[in-house]
Amino acid sequence: MNSWDDIFNTDLRAMVNLIHESVPYLEKTNGTIISISSITGYVPTAPWLAYSTVKAAVNMLSRNLALELGPKGIRVNTINPGATDVERTTGQFPEMMKFAASKTPLKRNGEPLDVAKGVVFLASTDASYITAANLIIDGGVMYNWPAYMN
């Protein structure tokens, strides 16, 4: 159960606490909240049940916060990256990352800059009418993790 508690506390409770403390400042500036979730919030991932469940909760929390905070001038959106080549994922899961790259139309995994560009767009005035959105940045992924795990 520790992994559930750790993942819940790190990926959801910390987000709620940060947003709670930030709202008074964001109201003054018509700020925006951009949550980083995961494609696993949409695609069941049996080995990572707690992680994917919490990421689904992050997606729904963001959409609900958009309803609550929109009248205060605060936009709330979520970015859902797919497999992204960072040291942790490529180091711990090299075969999984190769599998993920092979199942996207672009035949590669994402890079941190791909996600960063989504954040910059959602934070910009070009996205001033976008709220409650879940931006998926996954290279058009065409796999399901349970098939990989079998």
Output the six-digit token pair for 13.
């409770």
For residue range 55-64, what is the model confidence (pLDDT) as tens digits? 999 999 999 9
- Closest to 37 in 3D by CA, of 17, 2, 61, 19: 61
For residue range 41-94, what is the model confidence (pLDDT) as tens digits? 988 777 788 999 999 999 999 999 999 999 999 999 999 999 999 988 888 889
Determine contact, residues 37/79, Cβ cutoff 8 Å.
yes
Q: Is-catalytic flag, 42?
A: no
Long-range CB contacts for residues 133-137, cutoff 8 Å, separation at least 24: 133/77, 133/78, 134/37, 134/59, 134/62, 134/63, 134/77, 134/78, 134/79, 134/80, 135/77, 135/78, 135/79, 135/80, 136/39, 136/42, 136/80, 136/82, 137/79, 137/80, 137/81, 137/82, 137/110
pLDDT band at 13 (very low <50, low <70, confident <90, very high): very high
For residue range 121-149, what is the model confidence (pLDDT) as tens digits? 999 999 999 999 999 999 998 766 555 55
Q: Model-level pTM?
A: 0.89
Q: Tell me the pLDDT of the chain averaged across its residues.
A: 91
Res 97 pLDDT > 80: yes
- Closest to 33 in 3D by CA, of 77, 80, 67, 79: 77
Domains and CATH numbers, the chain: 2-149 (3.40.50.720)
Indicate which residue of 51, 129, 143, 148 is catalytic.
51
Q: Which conformational region is residue 132 in: left (phi greater than 0), alpha (psi within -120 to 50 degrees), or beta?
A: left
Residue 133 identity (one-letter amino acid): A
Would you call 130 helix, strand, or coil by DSSP? coil
